[in-house]
Amino acid sequence: MQLTHVAILPSPGLGHLIPLFELAKRLVVHHGIHVSFLVINTNEATTAQDQLLRSPTLPPGLEVVDLPLVDVSAITTDDITMLARLCVIAEESLKSLRSVLIGLALGKPNALVIDLFCTQAFQVCNDLSIPTYSFFTPSVTFLAFSLYLPTLDREVEGEFIDLPEPIAIPGCSPVRPGDLVDQVRNRKIDEYKWCLFHLSRLPLAAGIFLNSWEDLEPVSLKTIREHPFYLQIPTPPVYPIGPLIKQDEELTISDKEYLAWLDKQPPDSVLFVAHGSGGTLSSEQLTEMAWGLELSKQRFLWVIRTPRFLEKTQGVGMVVPSWAQQATVVRHPSTGGFLSHCGWNSSLDSVSNGVPMIAWPLYAEQKMNASLLTEEIGVAVKPVKGPGKKVIGREEINRVVRLVMESEEGKVMRHKVKQLGHSASRALETGGSSFDSLACVVKKWKGNQ
């Protein structure tokens, strides 16, 4: 029987690489697919990326293929914004996609799965008669917004951020202008134009994979599948196949130090505080955070780039300079809360492991995620900035930490998120909703050989 061969193409950056790499591994291990994992290759490759992709424990049948090197300095400027930079790099790299797909060791793939910012691949694959699927890395709720954005762009004059009322997304909860994704707050900038370009091309996909599962966002899923607005776009079939989160992390000596400390703490007793690889807080906010954590009297593990609060917190908490293995910490039995920037990967880490959150969004679509997690799913609490304040004060930090870690309201939240964590595990098991959703597409691929 002929081997089914699928190529997967993520956008640059670990936030995109990790879930698509987990998809690649699941296809190989659970569904007998051979995967060519295509990597956008620049002269700025990171150690973390190399560790992820060059692990000696990769399953047979998963081949990492570097696209021709892109010289970032030749196509970007010093003042280019993060998303525009990512899109420019992807566009340059995809100029080689046709020759790479034709030249793969197993020949032309049966399908290509692309990330959100690689939609130039649609034309290439159309010419080669390769069905192309989109892997949507954010939430289902954000997909609903994304599918509505081209209509919003046509119908609204001026800036969305200036609208007097929340934006009514068909069939979904309205989005407050203040919660809008950063890249659509100014329609004149390149980031908005890139966003609109890529998001408006989602209907070109043969199907859209979602890093979510049936029980996590049932309303948004039902809306996209059944609401007349999405049917008339027309929206491609959607396949919730998550949660696809990082499973294995290589631990260093410095990792073992804080994990040994965690091992000594009671179950569900430690608040994990981390702001993501791209997150930073002002000096004033860091000071308030340190005081708030001390006032709460709760155990904590705080990942911080400038660990000058070590002496103040000695004994109660532990400060880790620069980096910690997030997936390993969140799934540790002692971790009982996660103060998170609410990136979707981090949110899935938390929910999948039954850990309630303090939502501290910083950039991208994180404010929308924070509202979803607090107001609709009910597994997070969001601190409130006082009137006229530039930062969230120590008393408010103390309040939300104690709420999550020791209050009755926190217990209700913990119970809800632990139920969702069990649901996430069941979804991925053989016969679970996410397993079957992916198996449905795999069956199509195998039938099209």
Across 54-58, 249-253, 307-311, 330-334, least confident range: 307-311
Per-residue confidence at 49, pLDDT binned at 50, 70, 90?
confident
List 5, 115, 179, 198, catalytic entry = 115
Task: List Cβ neighbours of 182 (8 Å cut-off, separation of 6 or more).
Answer: 191, 363, 364, 365
The arithmetic mean of pLDDT across residues 96-110, rounded, is: 95
Per-residue confidence at 403, pLDDT binned at 50, 70, 90?
very high
**pLDDT at residue 29, rounded to an integer:** 96
For residues 397 and 255, which has the higher predicted lDDT (pLDDT)?
Answer: 397
For residues 386 and 131, which has the higher predicted lDDT (pLDDT)?
Answer: 131
Task: List Cβ neighbours of 442 (8 Å cut-off, separation of 6 or more).
Answer: 4, 27, 31, 33
> Over the stretch 312-329, which tens digit does the pLDDT of each residue have?
555 688 888 878 899 999
**pLDDT at residue 306, rounded to an integer:** 67
pLDDT for residue 449 is more than 70? no
Domains of the chain are 5-246+426-447 (3.40.50.2000), 253-424 (3.40.50.2000)
State percent of the chain over pLDDT 90.
82
Q: DSSP readout, 232-279?
A: HTTPPPEEE------------HHHHHHHHHHHTSPTT-EEEE---TT-
Computed over every residue of the chain, the mean pLDDT equals 93
Alpha helix segments (H runs only) across 41-120: 47-53, 72-75, 82-93, 97-102
The arithmetic mean of pLDDT across residues 364-387, rounded, is: 95
List 16, 31, 332, 341, catalytic entry = 16
**pLDDT at residue 210, rounded to an integer:** 98
Segment holding 141, helix H or strand E: helix 140-155
Per-residue confidence at 423, pLDDT binned at 50, 70, 90?
very high
Per-residue confidence at 45, pLDDT binned at 50, 70, 90?
low
The arithmetic mean of pLDDT across residues 205-216, rounded, is: 98
Q: Is-catalytic flag, 227?
A: no
How far, CA to CA in Å, does 93 sit from each of 87, 118, 132, 282?
A: 10, 10, 18, 35
**pLDDT at residue 188, rounded to an integer:** 94
Q: Is-catalytic flag, 78?
A: no
State percent of the chain over pLDDT 70.
97
The arithmetic mean of pLDDT across residues 215-244, rounded, is: 97
Three-state SS at 139: coil
Q: Could you tell me the strand order of the sheet in which 5-9 lies?
A: 62-66, 34-39, 5-9, 111-114, 132-136, 208-210, 238-240
CA distance 340 to 72: 30
**pLDDT at residue 278, rounded to an integer:** 67
Helix axes 14-31, 344-352, angle to 10 degrees: 50
pLDDT for residue 307 is more than 90? no
> Over the stretch 117-159, which tens digit does the pLDDT of each residue have?
999 999 999 999 999 999 999 999 999 999 999 999 999 999 9
125-134 contact pairs (CB < 8 A, 24+): 125/101, 127/98, 128/98, 128/101, 128/102, 130/101, 131/206, 131/445, 131/448, 132/204, 132/205, 132/206, 133/205, 133/206, 133/207, 133/208, 133/209, 133/441, 134/202, 134/205, 134/207, 134/208, 134/209, 134/236
pLDDT for residue 393 is more than 90? yes
Three-state SS at 297: coil
**pLDDT at residue 47, rounded to an integer:** 75
**pLDDT at residue 265, rounded to an integer:** 96
**pLDDT at residue 247, rounded to an integer:** 84
How far, CA to CA in Å, does 111 sit from each of 133, 337, 377?
A: 8, 40, 34
How far, CA to CA in Å, does 323 sit from each of 112, 176, 201?
A: 33, 33, 36
